Structure 1
Amino acid sequence: MLRLEALRTFVEVADHGNIKDASERLYRTPSAVSMTLKQIEDRLGCPLFETDRKSTLTEMGRFLYDQSVIVLRDFDRAMERIEAQSKARSGKLRIASVPSVATMLLPEFLQAFAANRPDLDIDLVDTDSTDVRHLVETGEVDLGIAGLPGDLPGLASETIFRDPFKLVCRSDSALAQRTDDLDWSDLDGTTMILNEASRNLPSAEFQKRAGLARLSVRNVASLMAMVQAGMGVTLLPSLATVNLPAALSARPLRDPACMRTVGLHWRLGRTPSPVALRFIAEFTASAREKARSLGLDAD
């Protein structure tokens, strides 16, 4: 079998028409280049050049040259792709994120991240924390951004920020007119609409009210529509309430248990790709800075 190094030497000699110029190009001695050419001819059992001056290829030489150019071109391109991926300049990145982060923190960051990596493909899934966990655990995505505990079995995590839940209600309601933080007793007589973001809050008072809820809505846009229609109130993380429509208001709660910790999650025992590792480092820093600017608690 002919080695790539030998084929590259042959192509250089054929391109330059002599051994001296080719050896300078290859940073090898003329005798070493001559020996390589002889090894190729011995291996094939036929001459590659019509004369010792190496200026004219034989018919076999022309055939080998054409094939060598294709092999070397494909090899060089493959090596360029491999290097680009190893340097986090290319590849495929699959991300699952909760809607609040996907809409508030990811767009600006991904624009800059992708601009420096024109050969990077990004697949973003916008879904709730429960589904984010499932997608990460099954390997359907490389990274998940969600309000999940940092000690889940089988997952590695990097905490980004913490934000309190707020009560979302109609702007024309009595609750919206309150200027102080709300107690659970202030919600007596109201109907609670559940959603995936708040379902597992470790608040005893909330869980009591959640147990009486008759409506659960998973999609955030639909949830907002239900509240706006007067069907009840709901709880959402602060980040999700930044751009509420004018018809809705968000009021803070006194209960310290109504808190979400948002982090980046990936599978333990599975080394993230170079581009995923770069995303973890750069997005964590960017998201923390953005979270602080919004008044959130960022590590």
Structure 2
Amino acid sequence: MNVTLRQLRVFQAVAETRNFSRAGDQIGLTQPAVSRSIVELESQLGLKLLDRTTREVVLTDAGQSLAMRLDRVLDDLDQTLAEIHGMAGARRGKVRVASSPTLSANLIPACIAECARRDPDIDFLLLDRMQQTALDSVRAGEVDFGVLVEPPATDDLHGEAILDDPFCLVMPPDHRLAGRRTVAWSALDGEPLVLLDHASGSRRLIDEALAQHGAHGEVRQQVGHPATVFRMVEQGIGISVMPALAMPPAGLQALVVRPLLPKVQRTIMLVHRRNRAPSPLAQRVWNLIREVAAQRRER
């Protein structure tokens, strides 16, 4: 049945006033428009709802049954729509965001702090997970959106690039390359390496850059967290290629960091399911992260 909300509200007004003209005045329709809506509703239901004479409108048994239930149904609908409409202006609630470790450590804390300052009624909940697990959380709807490293382009995801993050070389201060202001990727050929493992969103990009520039080194260790990489480099196990955002804000006192040329960078993206637009609260957090990333880019 193709019964419309307008037809039901017209019937509700007629059942209440027992008069087509007064019903039209109540809901802002002409008497012919009211009559036409009732005829269309009766046609869709296959039942006569009203007996009309020149002097009065009388509800049939079917009309009485519908009228008795319709008030509650329309009241529930009005309340539901009002609650949903209120979400657009909601100022309080939880927003869940998944992020990969290097971003969780060095971009997201500033975003959480700014959110607490700007929107203290928003509870910004971070799920700190490896890239693929964070991506799975977005797809499963476990989080409102994710902050990820160049997720694969797929039909089920919508992404927005917010920041480019260049790769750099991390090494002990006595390494042969430490005295250079910049280091060519090709200079890494034959060097022992300590790299993030393949669960990281950066590893694929690092491997591609090393291969493209003919830097074939021995990967001695593959680990999941940047802090572990730095400790291994300090112990002389190997040197490392790391994204700039993985560097602690206070720097690496025991290590040397140099830009790698030609510049290769990863793209940081905000990602949500294509068929699930962020809620108004989540959109505010999305916009806030974009702003914080833009400020970092300018610095």
Question: Shorter-normalised TM-score: what interval?
Answer: 0.5 to 0.7
2:178 counterpart SS class:
helix
User: 1:123-272 maps to which residues of 2 (within 5 A)?
Assistant: 123-149=125-151, 151-184=153-186, 186-195=187-196, 196-201=200-205, 202-203=208-209, 205=211, 212-241=218-247, 243=249, 244-256=251-263, 258-272=264-278
Are the counterparts in 1 of residues 150 and 201 from structure 2 also a CA contact under 8 Å?
no
Measured in 2, the distance between the counterparts of 1:151 and 1:123 equals 26
Give the aligned residue type for 2:280. P
For residues 141 and 131 of structure 1, the distance between their equivalents in structure 2, rounded to whole angstroms, comes to 12
Pairs aligned (count): 214
Deviation string, structure 1 residues 8-52 (Cα, Å, up to 9, x no partner): xxxxxxxxxxxxxxxxxxxxxxxxxxxxxxxxxxxxxxxxxxxxx
**Cα shift readout 1:44-73 (whole Å, capped 9, x = no counterpart):** xxxxxxxxxxxxxxxxxxxxxxxxxxxxxx
Give a deviation string over 1:196-237, Cα, whole Å, max 9, x none. Answer: 243211325269767842421011211211111111111111
SS at match of 1:176: coil
Q: For residues 162 and 271 of structure 1, what CA distance do their matches in structure 2 show?
A: 24
1:291 and 1:157 map into 2 onto residues whose CA distance is 18
Using the alignment, how far apart are the partners of 1:289 and 1:229 within structure 2?
A: 35
Quick check: which one's strand share is greater?
Answer: 2
- Answer whether contact 2:163 2:269 (CA < 8 A) is retained: yes
Code of the aligned partner of 1:190: E
User: What letter matches 1:194 in structure 2?
Assistant: L
Given the alignment, which residue of 280, 284, 290 partners 1:278?
284
The aligned counterpart of 2:106 is 104
Q: Answer yes or no: is the 8 Å Cα contact 1:162–1:259 preserved in 2.
A: yes
Contact 1:88 1:278 (C-alpha < 8 Å) held by counterparts: no
Gaps of 5+ in 2: 1-79
Provide TM-score, normalisation by structure 2: 0.63
Structure 1 unmatched ranges of 5 or more: 1-77, 294-299
Distance 1:100 1:255 in 2: 22
Using the size of structure 1 for normalisation, the TM-score is 0.63
Cα deviation code 1:242-264 (max 9, x no counterpart):
533211121111244x3201110
Q: CA deviation at 1:273?
A: 1.3
Distance 2:175 2:217 in 1: 23
**Cα distance in structure 1, aligned partners of 2:168 and 2:104:** 19
CA RMSD of aligned residues (A): 2.9
Q: In structure 1, how many angstroms separate the alpha carbons of the residues matched to 2:89 and 2:152?
A: 28
Contact 1:99–1:126 (CA under 8 A) maintained in structure 2: yes
Match of 2:96 among 71, 91, 94: 94
Is this contact kept in 1: 2:193–2:239, CA < 8 A? yes
Matches of 1:197 and 1:168, distance apart in 2: 18
Counterpart-to-counterpart distance in 2, 1:236 and 1:246: 16
Q: Which moved more, 1:230-239 or 1:98-107?
A: 98-107
Cα shift at 1:80: 11
Identity of aligned residues (%): 33
Partner Cα distance (1:83, 1:90) in 2? 15
The CA distance in 2 between the partners of 1:171 and 1:80, in whole Å, is 64
Q: 2:42 — aligned with what?
A: none
CA distance in 2: counterparts of 1:110 and 1:265, whole angstroms: 18
Deviating more after overlay: 219-228 vs 171-180: 171-180
SS of equivalent residue, structure 2 residue 171: strand
Give CA deviations for 1:120-146 in whole Å, capped at 9, x if unaligned: 322212233333222212222211111
In 2, distance between residues paired with 1:97 and 1:254?
Answer: 28
Shift of residue 277 of structure 1? Answer: 1.1
Letter in 2 for 1:174: R
Structure 1 180/263 Cα, relative in aligned 2: closer, same or farther at 3 Å? same
> Does the aligned pair in 2 maintain the 1:172–1:247 contact within 8 Å?
no
Tell me whether 103-112 or 186-195 shows the greater mean CA deviation.
Answer: 103-112
AA partner of residue 292 (structure 1): E
